[in-house]
């Protein structure tokens, strides 16, 4: 017996035609049923008249774009943590500030998809696992190591999750044609910013992760589960690869952060 209410779970499985698989650990019990008790469509507040969205973590860039008259408020999606959505004045592209962690960021993405968003570009920063990745170096995310819990409720258990290669190739092609330097590779998505230990960092680096962050596995999983286009650019920020953590003043790189949002404005039209 794996847990006290084992028989109830088995009965529930039979009722659902075994859509959920019993495992030793709850996080591995993937359920492929598309319908939940509470679905994002039930919480949506009407559809947008566009399907394009940029998610950024750069609040100062949004403030600057507002001050420049390049974006305007579009909508506030109500809730305990309201979602503020803006629109570029010269296009049909929306932009919103991302929340930290998969449950908040990817959960909001699921809701926004229910409101008509089907093309998404994400831009943020992350800790580098290799000191040779400079501050501001762009990583085109082509997958993530799933060291979090959210994505397991959308996509069956696996060590890695990958972006849509067609979308990723469009991003790569544009960067190459524009002669914008970039890397392509895996991120390490973790829930626990204060548990990035020396050995865990070494292991993630060994298996190919270039940057650690807290949202990509979840966002990619939502995009796969709901079937929409998603791409992400993460720039090299602080350095967790050395004996001592180095901030590298990564949050003060205003030019890099602004340019990254402008770049995503172009890319979201292409994916």
Q: Is 204 domain-assigned?
A: yes
pLDDT of residue 90: 95
Residue ranges making up the domain that contains 185: 39-267
Q: pTM surpassing 0.85?
A: yes
Q: Is 82 domain-assigned?
A: yes
Percentage of the chain surpassing pLDDT 90? 76
Q: Is residue 44 very low, low, confident or very high in pLDDT (cuts 50, 70, 90)? A: confident
In the predicted structure, residue 237 carries a pLDDT above the cut 80: no
Q: Is 16 domain-assigned?
A: no
In tens, the pLDDT along 92-128 reads 999 999 999 999 999 999 999 999 999 999 999 998 8
pLDDT of residue 1: 34
Q: What is the mean pLDDT of the chain?
A: 89
pLDDT of residue 8: 38
Whole-angstrom distance, CA of residue 172 vs CA of residue 179? 10
Q: Is 221 domain-assigned?
A: yes
Residue with tokens 């859509």: 19
In tens, the pLDDT along 118-172 reads 999 999 999 889 888 887 889 999 999 999 999 999 999 999 999 999 999 999 9
Q: Is 5 domain-assigned?
A: no
Q: Running DSSP on this structure, what letter comes out for residue 156?
A: -
Q: Is 3 domain-assigned?
A: no
Question: Number of folded domains in the chain?
Answer: 1
pLDDT (average), residues 48-66: 97
Who has greater pLDDT, 175 or 19? 175
- CATH code of the domain covering residue 136: 3.40.50.1580
Structure tokens at 189: 């998505």
Residue 260 · residue 235 · CB < 8 Å = yes
Q: Is 34 domain-assigned?
A: no
Whole-angstrom distance, CA of residue 26 vs CA of residue 195? 22
Q: Is 27 domain-assigned?
A: no
Name, in order, each residue with C-beta under 8 angstroms of 252's C-beta and a sequence gap of 6 or more. Answer: none
Integer angstrom CA distances of residue 118 from 22, 81, 228, 258? 33, 23, 5, 24
């Amino acid at each position: 017996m794996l847990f006290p209410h084992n028989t109830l779970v088995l009965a529930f499985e039979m009722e659902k035609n075994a859509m959920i698989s019993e495992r030793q650990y709850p996080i591995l019990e993937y359920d492929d049923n598309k319908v939940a008790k509470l679905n994002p469509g039930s919480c949506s507040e009407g559809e947008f008249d566009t399907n394009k969205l940029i998610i950024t973590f750069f609040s100062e860039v949004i403030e600057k774009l507002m001050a420049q008259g390049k974006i305007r408020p579009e909508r506030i999606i109500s809730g305990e943590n309201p979602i503020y959505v803006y629109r570029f004045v010269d296009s049909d592209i929306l932009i919103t500030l991302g929340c930290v962690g998969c449950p908040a960021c990817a959960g909001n993405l699921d809701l926004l998809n229910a409101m008509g968003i089907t093309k998404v570009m994400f831009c943020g920063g992350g800790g580098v696992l290799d000191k040779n990745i400079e501050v501001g170096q762009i990583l085109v995310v082509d997958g993530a190591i799933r060291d979090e819990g959210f994505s397991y409720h959308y996509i069956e258990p696996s060590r890695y999750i990958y972006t849509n290669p067609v979308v990723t190739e469009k991003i790569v092609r544009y960067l190459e044609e524009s002669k914008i330097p970039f890397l392509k590779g895996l991120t390490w998505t973790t829930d626990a910013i204060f548990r990035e230990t020396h050995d865990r960092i070494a292991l993630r680096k060994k298996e190919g992760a270039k940057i650690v962050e807290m949202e990509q596995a979840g966002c990619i999983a939502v995009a796969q589960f709901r079937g929409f286009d998603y791409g992400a650019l993460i720039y090299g920020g602080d350095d967790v690869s050395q004996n001592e953590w180095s901030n590298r003043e990564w949050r003060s790189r205003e030019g890099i952060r602004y340019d990254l949002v402008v770049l995503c404005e172009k890319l979201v039209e292409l994916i």
